[in-house]
Amino acid sequence: MLNLDLHPSRLAVGNVVIHYAWVIVFVAAAMRLSASAVRTSFAILVPRLVETFGWSHGMIGFGLALQWAFSGIFGPAAGWLGDRYGIRRTMLLGALVFTAAMVLTSRMTELWQFYAYYGVLLSLALAIFQVPLTAAVTLWFQKNLGLGMGILQASQGMGPLVLVPVVLLIISWFGSSESGLMINSWVTGIQAEGQDAGLRAAFWVTGIAGGLALVVFVKFFYDEPAQIGLRPYGATGNEPIRRVQHGETAQIRTQVFLRQARQTSAFWNLIGIHFWGCAGHAILMLFLVAIAEERGLSKGSAAGVFVVMSVLSTLTRFGVPIAADRFGSKGVMAVCFFMQCVPLILLFFAHDAWMFYLFAVLFGIGLGGEMSAFPIINRQYYGSAPIGTTYGWQMMGAGIGMAAGAVIGGVLRNLTGDFNVTILASFTLSAIGIAGIYLLPSTSHHLLPDWEEALPQEARSSA
């Protein structure tokens, strides 16, 4: 009979000992998926929102832009909450806010409610499951951080493939089932039928189910290895085991580190790089299908181009953190930005399907890798420092960049009547990001190796 030991500090299957860091990675990935069902399926909800409420595509797109922007704006606060009060407590707050925002969205009748509930309130929960969650995972590894982060980042890319069918099933069942209609009315307080009922169910079902799943997953998540008497994966046996991510100690460490980190040029440059990169690829994420259809591709072929780009980006989300961990993040990030920039030249001449598919393959490599190396480069620059707030500032740049790209792309298309200037804008934004990467210092050494000397003795990790 196979022996199992499920205690977190001595997890083992038979004679194989499994470090709990790998459980943390898969739990974090499951949390990301649980919190992102409607966000990753938003494209299929747009036409239903238009038909149900009579809102224009622009009005709905602005709601998504609000969510991108505010998830970025909330990033530093979410990172600070995780650094100050612990990841588990912060994620419980995120689960509560997530469920409330989704149920409130299912009850919306006015456009301002869509903006407030889906655009602003939900973005706070999404920031929590993006920023402190990612920063916490990095604490569990001294070796193979790239592999762990690759698994986590790839799960985000798998979201549309896994969750779009689920959301479609919810819409179909609640849009046609009498029992579904009764449950829907009880939850939303609104007598909705057909497409309206299915649309509302897409929000409240994924909100309640996702919220419950998040609470369950939090039970298996620990802020740092020392919380269960472990060292990070790959650490040597003579390193001390001491918790530094809780209580007054965490507050002091966060304040002192952030004050020093802000004095480095990399702190501000990484925020800008994330902004330029996300603004550049947001344009293509939103308008690639429209560009392909405008150039003569069928709706099916245009959708296929987007799928190919998504699949390639998922593969690079997995591979890029591994490469960044092994070869250094700066060079890997430069390659990804280059692959997000140069292939855009193809779009100026593309009319045949093969050119669009070639573009999707090349651009997908850059798209998936653009953001995947950021958690790695933070560890390479700052070591085991509390990077949650720092990473939150970088995600603020990313969120505002996504919103800016969506607005810029649409405005330029409306002003010029075609997508050529829009494509040029995407090229320019990514090119600025390449210049920013060139100015980054080397990742071969920590930028603040002695930052803990400014701490009181009792707050140092070696105490």
The answer to whether residues 357 and 277 belong to one domain is yes
Whether the Cβ atoms of residue 254 and residue 161 lie closer than 8 Å to each other: no
The answer to whether residues 225 and 265 belong to one domain is no
Domain of residue 129, CATH code:
1.20.1250.20
The answer to whether residues 134 and 43 belong to one domain is yes
pLDDT in tens, 330-352: 999 999 999 999 999 999 988 88
Q: Is residue 364 part of a domain?
A: yes
Q: Is residue 440 part of a domain?
A: yes
Averaged pLDDT, 60-69: 83
The answer to whether residues 392 and 281 belong to one domain is yes
The answer to whether residues 271 and 368 belong to one domain is yes
Whether the Cβ atoms of residue 195 and residue 72 lie closer than 8 Å to each other: no
Least confident of 140-154, 318-332, 354-368: 140-154
pLDDT in tens, 353-401: 999 999 999 999 998 888 888 989 998 999 888 888 888 899 899 989 9
Tally of domains in the chain: 2
Res 336: pLDDT: 93
Q: Is residue 4 part of a domain?
A: no
Strand order in the sheet with 16-17: 4-5, 12-13, 16-17
The answer to whether residues 344 and 413 belong to one domain is yes
Tokens 């977190």 found at: 8
Whole-prediction pTM value?
0.81
Domain boundary among 196, 230, 264: 230
Residue 81, both tokens = 């909450």
User: In 3-state terms, what secondary structure has residue 86?
Assistant: coil
The answer to whether residues 27 and 98 belong to one domain is yes
Closest by Cα among 50, 118, 48, 65 to 410: 65
Q: Is residue 292 part of a domain?
A: yes
Choose between 250 and 220: higher pLDDT.
220
Q: What are phi and psi of 141, to 5 degrees?
A: -130, 135
Is the pLDDT at 3 greater than 70, yes or no? no
Is the pLDDT at 180 greater than 80, yes or no? no
Averaged pLDDT, 12-26: 85
Is the pLDDT at 133 greater than 90, yes or no? no
Residue 392, both tokens = 């939150």
The answer to whether residues 250 and 222 belong to one domain is no
Is the pLDDT at 286 greater than 90, yes or no? no
Task: Please state, in angstroms and rounded to a whole number, the distance separating the CA atoms of residues 130 and 90.
Answer: 12
Task: Please state, in angstroms and rounded to a whole number, the distance separating the CA atoms of residues 119 and 66.
Answer: 5
> Cβ neighbours of residue 346 under 8 Å, at least 6 residues apart?
355, 358, 359, 362
Choose between 34 and 321: higher pLDDT.
321
Least confident of 89-93, 243-247, 435-439, 445-449: 243-247
Q: Is residue 274 part of a domain?
A: yes
DSSP state string for 115-182:
IIIIIIIHHHHHHHTTHHHHHHHHTTBSSSHHHHHHHHHHHHHHHHHHHHHHHHHHHHHHHH-HHHHH
Provide the angle, in degrees to the nearest 10, between the axes of the packed helices 57-73 and 42-53.
130
Residue 231: which region, alpha, beta or left (left: phi > 0; alpha: psi -120 to 50)? Answer: beta
Q: Is residue 84 part of a domain?
A: yes
pLDDT > 90: percent of the chain: 30
User: In 3-state terms, what secondary structure has residue 13?
Assistant: strand
pLDDT in tens, 202-228: 888 888 998 999 999 999 998 888 888
> 324 is in which domain, residue-wise?
246-453
**Length of the chain counted residue by residue:** 463
Res 458: pLDDT: 79
